[in-house]
């Protein structure tokens, strides 16, 4: 079984990869042979190799740095993979309000590239990971999967468009698409622009926290590992063309959540600073997850009080990570333009990594080739290496036939300095 995971270096994607490599498949899961996982990630501001610490040396894992919007790369990479699990997305609502273009490029056009490549490659299962925000806002009750989509933010609209494209490829081309929608996630390794890591980082640094309006907006909170459990159940037990809600978290107002974070960090209530509300701020989201419970056997296992306490302790024990969120959002945005500066590492390590990068650049290797070379240096069985080398050679041969620039010198990817590349990040 070969699985391609897009956005696998982000918060949720890396948790899913960790689950795949560390967990034994459920007894009910179909036997599919040895597991191999490929991560495709552009390593934008919220995607980091550090999220895969302890996994990159696993011979079952291949890491490819690349953009899901790069059609030639995706067409070369996807053949030979049985399943595709699509986490890669721009996901922060505030950023979508400031600049919707990156969200359309990644969440809509990037998804379209993946879907077209999956049809071409005959991919057996395509899992589209989505969000409860596609439905808009609900005053009471909970949405079922049949609820019409009515997104209110540019982020939610881009995810709704991606969901509809995915389902259209199922109906038009017969691609086995399964869509999952979840509430807000929390847990370790979340980039500190989202409320829990941002507030924890600032509180532990002795700073105030900015709460929108009066903090009356209501959200459901689901541990990232419970979300990944549901995604994998949809992948292995779901039905083609179905949408699955992965709910079952804890519903809290933003103010209630903030008070819990204050208590966990030992901070007084006067650390709260009320700020003007977000434009078009949805009041409440809620998912009915009966279908996932009955069809998939999905049930979350993390109790919120214990899960939140463990999450706060993780950030407490990772000060380098917290420093990204301890300042104000504007300075955070300025710092995010250089993703290398966000990684907590020594100057010695930075120097050695820069030397490594310079050597790779001078050799003119593509990112995919570098990923293969890194894997080739890792210990593995002598039986696997020849088959993997043949697989890489086939990919290289396909590159010549699929890339209209073949035969010409490869040019480096253009990159805007004032905006991140279409990205891998994170979570609903």
> Residue 43, class by beta-carbon neighbours within 10 Å (0-12 exposed, 13-18 middle, 19+ buried)?
buried
**pLDDT tens digits, 192-214:** 889 999 999 999 999 999 999 99
Q: For residue 324, what pLDDT is reported?
A: 67
**What's the gap between Cα 186 and its chain centre?**
13
Q: For residue 239, what pLDDT is reported?
A: 98
% of the chain exceeding 70 in pLDDT:
73
Helix pair 254-265, 304-316: axis angle to 10 deg = 50
Per-residue pLDDT 10s for the chain (428 aa) are 999 999 999 999 999 999 999 974 544 455 557 899 999 999 998 899 999 999 999 999 999 999 999 999 999 999 999 999 999 998 878 888 888 998 999 999 999 999 999 999 999 999 999 999 999 999 999 999 999 999 999 999 999 999 999 999 999 999 999 999 999 999 999 998 899 999 999 999 999 999 999 999 999 999 999 999 999 999 999 999 999 999 999 999 999 999 999 999 999 999 999 999 888 899 999 999 999 999 999 999 999 999 999 999 999 999 887 776 555 444 444 434 433 333 333 323 333 433 443 344 344 444 444 444 444 444 433 343 444 444 444 444 444 443 433 333 333 333 233 333 333 444 45
Q: Give the C-alpha separation, 329 to 214, whole Å.
A: 19
Contact 170, 118 (CB under 8 A): no
| pTM of the predicted protein model | 0.76
How far are the Cα atoms of 80, 206, 312 from residue 321, in angstroms, in the given order? 36, 16, 12
Rama region for 147: left / alpha / beta (φ>0; ψ in -120 to 50; rest): beta
Hey, is 417 helix, strand or coil? coil
Q: For residue 46, what pLDDT is reported?
A: 85
Look up the CATH superfamily of 2-343: NAD(P)-binding Rossmann-like Domain (3.40.50.720)
Q: For residue 119, what pLDDT is reported?
A: 98
Per-domain boundaries in the chain: 2-343
Closest CA to 134 of 168, 163, 105, 113: 163
Strands 250-253, 218-223: pairing kind = antiparallel
% of the chain exceeding 90 in pLDDT:
65
Q: For residue 87, what pLDDT is reported?
A: 97
Q: For residue 32, what pLDDT is reported?
A: 59
Tokens 């039905």 correspond to 239
Closest CA to 152 of 282, 9, 29, 31: 282
**pLDDT tens digits, 48-102:** 999 999 999 999 999 999 999 999 999 999 999 999 999 999 887 888 888 899 8
The catalytic site residues sit at 132-133, 155
């Amino acid at each position: 079984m070969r699985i391609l995971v897009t956005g696998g270096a982000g918060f949720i994607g890396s948790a899913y990869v960790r689950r795949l490599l560390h967990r034994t498949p459920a007894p009910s899961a179909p036997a599919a042979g040895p597991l191999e996982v490929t991560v495709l990630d552009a390593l934008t501001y919220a995607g980091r190799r550090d999220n895969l610490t302890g996994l990159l040396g696993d011979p079952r894992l291949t890491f490819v740095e690349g953009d899901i919007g790069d059609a030639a790369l995706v067409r070369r990479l996807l053949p030979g993979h049985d399943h595709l699990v699509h986490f890669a997305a721009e996901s922060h609502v505030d950023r979508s309000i400031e600049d919707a273009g990156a969200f359309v490029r990644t969440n809509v056009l990037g998804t379209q590239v993946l879907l077209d490549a999956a049809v071409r490659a005959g991919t057996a299962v395509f899992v589209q990971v989505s969000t409860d925000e596609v439905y808009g806002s609900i005053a009471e009750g909970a949405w079922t999967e049949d609820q019409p989509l009515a997104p209110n933010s540019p982020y939610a609209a881009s995810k709704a468009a991606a969901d509809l494209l995915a389902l259209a490829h199922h109906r038009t081309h017969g691609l086995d698409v399964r869509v999952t929608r979840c509430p807000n996630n929390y847990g370790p390794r979340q980039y500190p622009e989202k409320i829990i890591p941002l507030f924890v980082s600032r509180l532990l640094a002795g700073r105030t926290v900015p709460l929108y309006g009066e903090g009356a907006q209501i959200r459901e909170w689901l541990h990232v590992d419970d979300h990944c459990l549901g995604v994998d159940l949809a992948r292995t037990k779901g039905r083609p063309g179905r949408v699955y809600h992965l709910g079952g978290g804890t519903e809290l107002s933003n103010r209630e959540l903030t008070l819990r974070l204050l208590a966990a960090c030992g901070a007084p209530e006067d650390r709260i600073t009320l700020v003007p509300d977000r434009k078009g701020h949805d009041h409440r989201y809620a998912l009915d997850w009966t279908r996932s419970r009955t069809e998939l056997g999905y049930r979350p296992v993390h109790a919120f009080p214990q899960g939140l306490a463990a999450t706060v302790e993780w950030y407490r024990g990772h000060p380098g990570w917290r420093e990204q969120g301890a300042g104000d959002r504007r300075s955070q945005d300025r710092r995010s333009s250089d993703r290398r500066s966000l990684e907590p590492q020594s100057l010695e390590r930075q120097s050695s990594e820069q030397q490594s990068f310079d050597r790779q650049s001078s050799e003119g290797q593509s990112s995919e080739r570098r990923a293969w070379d890194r894997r080739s240096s890792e210990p593995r069985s002598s039986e696997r290496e020849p088959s993997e080398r043949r697989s890489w050679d086939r990919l290289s041969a396909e590159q010549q036939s699929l890339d209209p620039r073949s035969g010409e010198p490869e040019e480096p990817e253009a990159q805007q300095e004032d905006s991140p590349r279409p990205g891998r990040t994170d979570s609903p």
